[in-house]
Amino acid sequence: MEPLRSSDPARIADHRLLGRLGAGGMGVVYLARTPGGALVALKVLLAEYAEEAGFKERFRREVEVARRVDSPWAVPVVDADADAEAPWLATAFVPGPSLGEAVAAYGPLTERGLRVLGARLAEALSEVHRAGLVHRDLKPGNVLIAHDGPRLIDFGIARAPEDTALTATGMVVGTPGYLSPEQAEGRGGDGGIGPASDVFSLGCVLAFAATGRAPFGSGAVDALLYRAVHDPADLDGVPAGLLEVLGSCLEKDPDRRPDAGELARELAADGAARENEAQDDEASEWLPEPVTRLIAERSAAALALPDIEHTLAPSAGPAASAPAEPDTRGTSESAQPQDARPAGRRRFLLLAGGAVALAAGAGGTWWTVTRDGDAGGDGAAAAASSRWPVHTVALHADLSGPQRETGKAQERGLRLAVAEFNARDDAPFTVKVRAVDDKGDPATSARLATELTDDPAVLAVVGPTSDATAQTSLAKYDAGLLPVVAVSPGSTVLSIQGFRSFLHARLPDAVLPVYVSNYLRGTARSRKVGIVVDRPAGNYATDLSTSLSNVLGNAQQPSVPEVVSAMRRDFGSAVDAVLSAGADSVFFAGLPDRGALIAGTLRERGFDGARISGPALLDEAFLTKAQESAEGWTMVAPVIDATRKPEARKFAAAYRERWKEAPPRYAAEAYDVTGMLLKALAALPAKSRTRENLLAAVRAGKYTGITKPFAFEKTGLMVIDGNGGYLWRVEQGDFVYGGPAPLTV
């Protein structure tokens, strides 16, 4: 990002400009914040273009086209104004490089990376074509790279195949070198440019990503157009396993090319691009490590960008003047102006490079919840439904897939909070629960999010369960401004994408290394930390390891990094490397099954120093596979043991009474955020109980739960008042809760 120039405005509409992302002959693209604090890429056209006949109508069509494309792999439109003096368009900000930038700087992708890239771009194109459109300008510069996959951008010349307003016969539109033969020959007048043209361009993009060069070379435009029509593509260097599929994309005859859906299935035939596979293969190795690191650094830097000025008057939601109700579990504080909040309150801010700092400040209007009465059955809702208004709170979770235990725990926590609310004599309305199961599948998650958003009875959602399912669903919820509160996903990327309705009710993974560092330098008295980064863990490992390296570096604590490829199942060389370098403690950034491998290796080496990891290892699979090698391992996680925390005793007893077992991890957290939502909703006047007002009330307030206090930044990140990280240790073959992780050394 470049700094703003003196000629640049400070704002466009209500969007605050932060810097320049790029500029061209038609205008400038800025990085900006929406009034709600979301980061967007804001494309502004030069004013003189708006004076051309038909320009505003074409620009308005671009906006409409982009909004018709519904895919997790296409960047969504956030806002636009085609009638402004200088028309502008804002899309969600992706803090990653373009494909062209990534390949030019770090080289071609592996076959696995090409399959992930191709399958997801083909899925995006399939949605473009399903909307009755053709993109027409697919090239490396129009593909942005994120941790979980690519994002297709720029629908400026996308049109229906029969639309000749921009593509009359003989007119060539697009980027030479990536144009189909029919585009190169200007076959627009007879409707000859259809979906197959995009498939050809995708073949060109994949060839570039595989070799680092365009398949029809470089040089004069006329030469590039001629080669596209007459010459075979240069596929020298393309992995053998992809030659046939790329060759089919680059057929000169459009009728011989696969359609986008067929291409997506063929590229994903080996399962490489499926996000619902076993976690040891999930999205691993799809990007070169430097690109992964670049995305992590840009993501962390985005979190440190300025927020909306504090001089702006905050919008006064209906909850701003509502009186706080008494609370039998915590304290209630009166509302205060933002600049008059107690100086003693502490919050975490992620800074560039993953470092974390403490700064004064916390929420605005404070809220607590009344939980009088014992847990009741779902029959309480039925008994009250004839007397009170009914509102629905939804659970979006993995209830039958790989994270079903976490999903079921959250469902039960939510249902218990709802049952207690409905049992209250003074309940101003009845709450119904709608639970949906995405089975851990990102595509299903997106579909269910659309269904919940389209249901006007649903005023809030708790979930989803995983990073992958959250990533594909949050844009859907945001489109309907449906408040969604997540307690288990941890990816930092979720919080910086600017979703207005998303509330991240746990510490992101990139913050947890602050506690890890304090534990290692304080409790463990470590002098040098070995950091083992397991590539199959993808951006989870990157978030943890990058942040820990920076935190240790800021504390002048030596560390020894070692990266393990997904192709290796032997951690011997990595362990030997960090130990021979003098590491007396080891941090593992990875997932449970391979965590068991490194645990076994450390035990074989007789290592008795501190062994610590993040929340992923807090999983029964680690205990089962590591056996005695798991003994003594410590985990830092954003979750409590409700049976060991005094404030949660009443909840734990009610949970045992209802389900005949101790509450599992994440049940109390779901119980808390459900209580927070219901408290805020109950404080609103009956006619003001809308999604938008509920979101405003939760964002403006603070809620004291049984697990921790909850308050939120404008970006949806949680403000931590005290602790948000907790220690767990393996003792005698089980996870034992150790209380709050250390805030200081």
pLDDT value of position 351: 33
CATH number for 149: 1.10.510.10
- Shared domain check, 260 and 119: yes
Please choose, from the candidates 59, 57, 62, 205, the residue with its C-alpha nearest in 3D space to the C-alpha of residue 125: 205
Contact 400, 348 (CB under 8 A): no
Segment (H or E) for 726: strand 726-731
pLDDT tens track for 58-67: 778 777 777 8
Q: Residues near 606 by Cβ (< 8 Å), separated by ≥ 6?
A: none
**Beta strands at 458-462 and 484-486: parallel, antiparallel or unpaired:** parallel
544 belongs to a structural domain: yes
- Shared domain check, 264 and 144: yes
- Shared domain check, 672 and 615: no
131 belongs to a structural domain: yes
Catalytic residue among 14, 70, 83, 137: 137
In the chain the first and final C-alpha atoms are separated, in Å, by 36
The residue segments making up the domain with residue 30 are 11-92
At residue 545's C-alpha, the angle toward residues 113 and 106, to 5°, is 35
Q: Residue 745 corresponds to which amino acid?
A: V
- Shared domain check, 528 and 499: no
- Shared domain check, 233 and 255: yes
Q: Which of 274, 300, 330 is the last residue of a domain?
A: 274
Scored b (16 or more CB within 10 A) or e, 496-526 reads bbbbbbbbbbbbbbbbbbbbbbbbbbebbeb
For 74-135, give the secondary structure using H, E and C: ECCEEEEECCCCCCEEEEECCCCCEHHHHHHHHCCCCHHHHHHHHHHHHHHHHHHHHCCCEC
State the Cα–Cα distance between residues 127 and 114, nearest whole angstrom. 20
- Shared domain check, 183 and 37: no
pLDDT value of position 270: 58
538 belongs to a structural domain: yes
Contact 318, 693 (CB under 8 A): yes
Please choose, from the candidates 463, 517, 511, 494, the residue with its C-alpha nearest in 3D space to the C-alpha of residue 744: 517
Looking at the structure of the chain, the number of domains it has is 4
- Shared domain check, 106 and 233: yes
281 belongs to a structural domain: no
Backbone torsions φ then ψ of 524, nearest 5 degrees? -85, -10
65 belongs to a structural domain: yes
234 belongs to a structural domain: yes
State the Cα–Cα distance between residues 183 and 164, nearest whole angstrom. 13
Q: Which of 210, 244, 274 is the last residue of a domain?
A: 274
505-509-510-515 Cα dihedral, nearest 10 degrees: 90
Q: Which of 210, 242, 274 is the last residue of a domain?
A: 274
pLDDT tens track for 434-475: 999 999 999 999 999 999 999 999 999 999 999 999 989 998
- Shared domain check, 596 and 493: no
- Shared domain check, 220 and 118: yes
Maximum separation of any 2 CA atoms in the chain, in Å: 80
Could you say which residues of the chain have pLDDT below 50? 157-173, 189-190, 271-284, 309-387
State the Cα–Cα distance between residues 152 and 201, nearest whole angstrom. 13
The shares of helix, strand and coil residues in the chain, as percent rounded to the nearest 5, are 40, 20, 40
**Burial level of 422, CB count in 10 A (0-12/13-18/19+)?**
buried
pLDDT value of position 136: 84
Q: What residues are paired with 43 via a beta bridge?
A: 29, 89
CATH number for 440: 3.40.50.2300
- Shared domain check, 658 and 615: no
- Shared domain check, 519 and 631: yes
Q: What is the DSSP string of 380-415?
A: HHHHHTTTS-EEEEEEEE-SSSTTHHHHHHHHHHHH
320 belongs to a structural domain: no
Q: Residues near 595 by Cβ (< 8 Å), separated by ≥ 6?
A: 588, 613, 616, 617, 622, 626
Residue with tokens 């909004």: 67
- Shared domain check, 544 and 408: no
pLDDT value of position 307: 59
Average pLDDT of the chain is 83
- Name the token pair of 350: 């992620």
Contact 86, 46 (CB under 8 A): yes
279 belongs to a structural domain: no
pLDDT value of position 263: 96
pLDDT value of position 338: 34
Is 137 tagged catalytic? yes
